[in-house]
A and B are shown apart, each in its own frame.
Chain A
Amino acid sequence: MKRLKTLLGVAAIALAAPLAAQTVAITNAKVATGTGAAPIDGGTVVISNGRIVSVGRTGAPAGAQIVDAQGRWVTPGIIGGFSRLGLLEVDAVGESNDSSAGDDANPFNASLDVTPGLNPRSVNIPINRIEGITRAVVAPNAGNSIFAGQGAIVSLGDADDIAMRPRAFQFVELGEEGADLSGGSRSAAHAVFRNGLREALAYARNPAGYEGGKDRGAILTALDAAALVPVVQGRMPVLIHVERASDIQRVLDIKREFPNLKPILVGVTEGWIVADKIAAAGVPVIASALNDLPARFEMLGATQSNVGRMVKAGVKVALGMIDDEDGRQIRLLPQHAGNLVALGRVPGASGVTPEQALMLMTKAPAEIFGLTDTGTLEAGKRADVVIWDGDPLELASAPVAVMIDGRQVSMTSRQTKLRDRYMPNRPDDMPVQYRR
């Protein structure tokens, strides 16, 4: 077999880890800004103090460290619009999985906060980071109630504390799973939801006098009621998982009873059926891109054209991963987005443009979560920047360099270490366990 090239020799970008204060100019790049604009050929991205200073065809400022992208694509870091990243190591190993608390021993629900479960040293963070994911929305899984608890926005940088915005939202199940968690029907799930918000209002009126707990006339514990106060007052968005068209409409209806509520719909497989209503309500959506099977009765109308149709109807959509892979595989978002572009060439299907596809996992999630300083390559934004070895949506492409807040991250992960240990034609002089 032919000799293998050295690993880093293939596509290395000479980025001597820049100091935070140093000015870096990525030149000769094909810059896709995430704003929806066409890519800029021969573009330059100037970074200083962890922020983007300028993006365009102007040259590099004097004294800047130059990174020649050699014509490669440069994009904003990808934002995982929905995930469980950092909450688990191995899904099926319960001790390593903090995504939900469904045992009877747990009396809490809405007040659960993912933050204590977030592990900045999870192997899954570098595995996703080296594929261009720089931020992620991390939601709890529902345990004993439709109120799953409070999720966070995390940075995939290597800081000790990755929750850049803890308690960013409440997560609620109101479809089939919500019905199941509430005793068996959607009616019960909606009663639990409305009751929760009403008890939160009662708690807000008189926290000291709140008689929480089942034995004292209320259903929610005081802690859970308190956690729902910012939700009912509209200071904290509520992510609501629904798939069926009618379930989506009922959430839009709830807004009439609780006008301050800031719902964000999650899942929304049948969103295309009621896309005009979602758009009219101005409620954003975080969707799985490629659902096309009637996997559950609440998803009978599934089609990969869902996102394209919602975008065309004017719904604000971001892409997330709302499935069994949400703890580890948010790195597959560019593939999902690329598939939506493919639909543009399928007769009868609705796709998105490549620029829209990038927005679905950069600008759109940033806007939906009010992350005003990230999501695009524009002056003043955080310098979350990815340099790719090809079209970022293409299957064979991968990042050659990733920056988070202007700092280049290591391109190694547990997986790259395993790969290097088992590289073909390795010497056989000692057990592999001595190789690293």
Chain B
Amino acid sequence: MRTKLSLAALLLTAACTTGQTNAARSASDKPAKSADVVRINEDPFPSTYKPYGAVATVIQNVNIYDGRGGKIVGGMVALADGKVVGIGQSVEVPAGATVVDGQGKWVTPGIIDIHSHLGDYPSPGVQAHSDGNEVTGPVRPEVWAEHSIWPQDPGFSRALTNGGVTALHVLPGSANLFGGRGVTLKNVYGRTQQDMKFPGAPYTLKMACGENPKRVYGNRNQMPGSRMANIALDRQTWAKAQEYRRKWADYNRKVDDGSAKASDAPSRDLAMDTLAGVLDGKILVQNHCYRADEMANVIDMSKEFGYKVTTFHHAVESYKIADILAREGICSAMWADWYGFKMESNDGIRENIPFVHAAGACAIVHSDDANGIQRLNQEAAKAMGDGRRVGIDIAPEVAWTWLSYNPAKALGIGDRTGSLEAGKMADVVLWNGDPFSVYTRPEKVWIDGALMFDSSNPRLRPVSDFELGQPGEGDVK
């Protein structure tokens, strides 16, 4: 699985660095035999993100949670050329580096929210902005969240300045069984969604269990109207995807051995392209699912069709099957204390995150909310307290993995961000105190080594186009 993922990531990266946007990218290195050969372009909307003004920087006299479970008291972090170049008690200062004295404050990797609808359900939440669910059919893997993203959503700025969020994964909603592709963004404003796209991040597929699909379509007397139909329609769709993938595999083989005619190319189906990408291990499944019993059904289904669920999202009942999730290597993206807003969230408990962690499973704190994304560190702090009260003592430096490395790994970008390690992206937050305290806020945020927020400099407070000329323009938020 892991090998396949990094290969996919390499292909995507390569496509974007060469600027090649048309067809004719081959999975093999063999040259195409014919100008008419059809190959599917896996990256037709390539990232145009570029880091802004990275300055060599040393943050010294700070306490550090490194995002991989490590902690350094009174240490230093050095950033250069957009990368972390040193972390430790004492590190070499890059030539000409700006030195920031942290005065005993705290440094962490930037927070990564694996579940956001910023951009596709932006503020203000008017009907004209409601772009997260394609509620015209329960199977819509052909839609891509990135095509709904409004880069002027004021929420991106709040996530940065109040939340210390440096990357986020924006998904379609959960009305559909197959909601479409999600996209990972750097939390840096741009004029286009392409400007924000995390370079080389794999695509994801949003799937949903439970109440939402069956309610939306059942109310129209359509399938699915029940949980059993959710699974039936899922399985039927995966069976089609397998068939589609076989056709393209046959065709690609012919291309490779030179026997393909132009008219041999199978019909293109954008929905099936996404699902075939999942079966190839190139597209990661991010599955909205609340109940333990439904997660177990999905796990069996994924084995039947040969794909892997990367993360269960919301997962309020993960604590009931934490052992199974640990065994299967599936992450849970959770809230600290949400419950009871709908029947399938009724069994939410405050110890969900610590119980999942204690079972050795991968725990992630997520928001699914434009307010919650501003306080993910606070959610983790609550979960630590709840764990401690029942005898599960989780060190703060370990709990930080829920906020940066685990979500990065589950998004297929854990080799590039999510922790403070030499060579990784310099996505860094300097907090004005203990980042697990309610009294603490981000003081400075660097993304790819560029200072993108400084609480003492109002000019480093981004203001979206929408907020220009409105009450409170440029105010502290």
Question: How would residues 306 to 336 of chain A score, 1 for a CB under 8 Å from any chain B CB and 0 otherwise?
Answer: 0000000000000000001101110010010
Interface residues in B370-407 (C-beta closer than 8 Å to A): 370-371, 374-375, 378, 381-382, 384-386, 388-392
Which chain A residue shows the least CB distance to B355?
A424
Does A15 have its Cβ within 8 Å of any Cβ on chain B? Answer: no
Q: Are B381 and A396 in contact (CB under 8 A)?
A: yes
- Could you tell me the distance in whole angstroms from the C-beta of A341 to the nearest C-beta in chain B? 6
Given A294-B466, A396-B381, are A91 and B342 neighbors across the interface (CB < 8 Å)?
yes
Residues of chain A within 8 A (CB-CB) of B162 are 292, 304
Q: Are A302 and B340 in contact (CB under 8 A)?
A: no
Residues of chain A within 8 A (CB-CB) of B438 are 335, 338-339, 341-342, 393-395
- Could you tell me the distance in whole angstroms from the C-beta of B382 to the nearest C-beta in chain A? 5
Bound complex: CA A89 to CA B475 (Å): 39
Does B124 have its Cβ within 8 Å of any Cβ on chain A? Answer: yes
Residues of chain B within 8 A (CB-CB) of A93 are 342-343
Does A295 have its Cβ within 8 Å of any Cβ on chain B? Answer: yes
Residues of chain B within 8 A (CB-CB) of A397 are 385
Residues of chain B within 8 A (CB-CB) of A346 are 432, 441, 455, 476
- Could you tell me the distance in whole angstroms from the C-beta of B252 to the nearest C-beta in chain A? 46
Given A294-B466, A303-B472, are A415 and B339 neighbors across the interface (CB < 8 Å)?
yes
Question: How would residues 290 to 303 of chain A score, 1 for a CB under 8 Å from any chain B CB and 0 otherwise?
Answer: 10111111011111
Bound complex: CA A415 to CA B467 (Å): 41
Q: Which of B124, B211, B337, B466 contacts A295 (CB 8 A)?
A: B124
Bound complex: CA A22 to CA B476 (Å): 52
Bound complex: CA A324 to CA B340 (Å): 11
Bound complex: CA A332 to CA B379 (Å): 11
Bound complex: CA A303 to CA B467 (Å): 13
Does B350 have its Cβ within 8 Å of any Cβ on chain A? Answer: yes
- Could you tell me the distance in whole angstroms from the C-beta of A276 to the nearest C-beta in chain B? 16
Bound complex: CA A397 to CA B162 (Å): 22
- Could you tell me the distance in whole angstroms from the C-beta of B301 to the nearest C-beta in chain A? 24
Q: Which of A339, A348, A395 contacts B381 (CB 8 A)?
A: A395
Q: Are B389 and A1 in contact (CB under 8 A)?
A: no
- Could you tell me the distance in whole angstroms from the C-beta of B315 to the nearest C-beta in chain A? 14
Interface of chain B: mostly helix, strand, loop or mixed: loop
Bound complex: CA A4 to CA B458 (Å): 48
Q: Are A341 and B439 in contact (CB under 8 A)?
A: yes
- Could you tell me the distance in whole angstroms from the C-beta of A120 to the nearest C-beta in chain B? 17
Q: Which of B211, B378, B476 contacts A335 (CB 8 A)?
A: B378
Question: How would residues 334 to 366 of chain A score, 1 for a CB under 8 Å from any chain B CB and 0 otherwise?
Answer: 010011011101111100000000000000000
Q: Are A273 and B339 in contact (CB under 8 A)?
A: no
Q: Are A297 and B124 in contact (CB under 8 A)?
A: yes
Q: Are A302 and B472 in contact (CB under 8 A)?
A: yes
Bound complex: CA A395 to CA B388 (Å): 12
Residues of chain A within 8 A (CB-CB) of B381 are 395-396
Which of A5-13, A23-31, A218-226 lies at the interface with chain B? A5-13
Q: Are A345 and B384 in contact (CB under 8 A)?
A: no
- Could you tell me the distance in whole angstroms from the C-beta of B125 to the nearest C-beta in chain A? 6
Does A38 have its Cβ within 8 Å of any Cβ on chain B? Answer: no
Residues of chain B within 8 A (CB-CB) of A349 are 476
Residues of chain A within 8 A (CB-CB) of B477 are 292, 302-304
Q: Are A124 and B340 in contact (CB under 8 A)?
A: yes
Q: Which of A4, A6, A305, A398 contacts B476 (CB 8 A)?
A: A305
Bound complex: CA A418 to CA B316 (Å): 12
Q: Can you list 28 pairs linking A and B with CB atoms under 8 Å apart?
A: A5-B390, A10-B390, A92-B343, A270-B471, A292-B371, A292-B477, A293-B154, A294-B466, A295-B125, A296-B125, A296-B126, A297-B126, A300-B472, A301-B470, A301-B472, A328-B341, A345-B439, A345-B441, A347-B456, A347-B476, A348-B458, A395-B381, A395-B385, A398-B385, A415-B349, A419-B349, A422-B349, A423-B390
Chain A residues with CB under 8 Å of chain B are: 1-7, 10-11, 89-93, 124, 245, 270, 273, 290, 292-297, 299-305, 324-325, 327-329, 332, 335, 338-339, 341-343, 345-349, 389-390, 393-398, 415-416, 418-419, 422-424, 432
